[in-house]
Structure 1
Amino acid sequence: MVTVESIDEVLATHQPALPSTRLSMVEQTLTRLLLFVILGVLLGLVLMPETVWDNGLRPIIWEPIQQDAGAQGDAGYSYQNTAIYTFGLLASVVVFQALFRTLQLPADDKMMIALIAWVCLAPIFRVLEDADFFPSSIDWLLISPIIHLHLATWLIAIGFVSHLVGKKWDHVGGDLGELNIRMRIVPVLCLALLFMWAILFRPGYAEHDMGLIWVIIGLGIGFASLIFAFHATREWPTI
């Protein structure tokens, strides 16, 4: 019978097939393909906007997103754009994990716990969008696949800023290092939370009869949760 201890023993002595700084053939292929597609689309939008946008991206990608954000639900989705979304998201996962690995970012249980909140955000936002919580002007931000790109942008930006701000004190032990990290990162995270709330939630509150008091309470709970989580993860890497 396989036990947790036996799995830990195998993982402790496991040797990776490639160094962390090298990309596998699949990772290299997908990275080049993704860059080629992005550059090709950008050049197409500039040089042949009618062909690339009017006859390509708009009816296949953009219009289904608009229909899903409106009253038509998922009526605009097809096998074609669903396959494009699926391949694009899977390729992005492979490319970004390869990038993070080559940058020597931590990939342990602490990172997994830190990412759980971001994973939960996508279905929560999607349910709130289905309930017409958000104003129609930003509904498209909360429709697949835009919602995954949208949250990935938040995640990467906050991780980069946190690492950039606190990396100087990451290796300083004791209260001195922790105090300096808190003084620098907590205000940044609070501003990021306020910015996200101002973009996504504040317009929604304005259209619902919830009352200002619930807005203040919800925002206060958000800040309290952020500060509590930061305290509970004391001595974790800033990223």
Structure 2
Amino acid sequence: MARLIDRLRAAGFDLDGTLIDTAPDLGAAANATLAELGLTLLPEARFPRLVGGGIAILVERALTESLGHPPEPALRGKALERFRENYAARLFERSRVYPGVIEGLGRLREAGLALCCITNKHSRFALPLLEAAGLASLFDFTLCADEPARRKPEPAMLLDACARFGIAPARMLYVGDSRTDVLAARAAGCPVAAVDYGYDAELGNGEPQPDAFITSLAVIAELGADPAADAARIRAPQR
């Protein structure tokens, strides 16, 4: 059977919600920040739905839910500064690598694919997080959105990754967990798969749609050349 990876030369991966469940530590940092500001803490179960779009957006959402209204700019700025310090102190205390990630990346390496991580997370957090999780050495490089203009859904980082690999975008699969990831891949011209365990509860409800939903990174190496037709390995998201 023809396999998807036989027509690929590389694969890129989102970080939060795709490689690592970071919501527990992000939530702990957010609640520590709210506590320092004398604000109401949020239930831990809320944070997976607040993650996505970067730290500034997470802080904005947490403040809005805690206050019951959008924060004033001065409070938002103070909270963002405190959140950065609180999160840097607990990057990988309660976060965990998702099942199948290490196995899946290893299989793709064995198949000869180059690998990279492409994340909207700032390098201050993303690089030490990948090191702490034991994933950094599995990637050829990691691209981070330290410049806001490069953030997904803009395709800039995906196109840069393809240029580094010396390949056309159609030769790099991008794997993420959100509509932002799908839009970035579509804009870059990359095929895209979405994990069905991530943070974006709306992914799969209308457009944009990925080429495939996958239950684990471990199944990528087994996907058929037409992933949307591979019913044995792909299913609609259960969120």
* TM bucket, shorter chain: under 0.3
Structure showing the higher strand proportion among its residues: 2
**More helix per residue:** 1
Larger relative CO (CA 8 A, sep 6+): 1 or 2? 2
TM-score when normalising by structure 2: 0.25
Structure possessing the higher radius of gyration over alpha carbons: 1
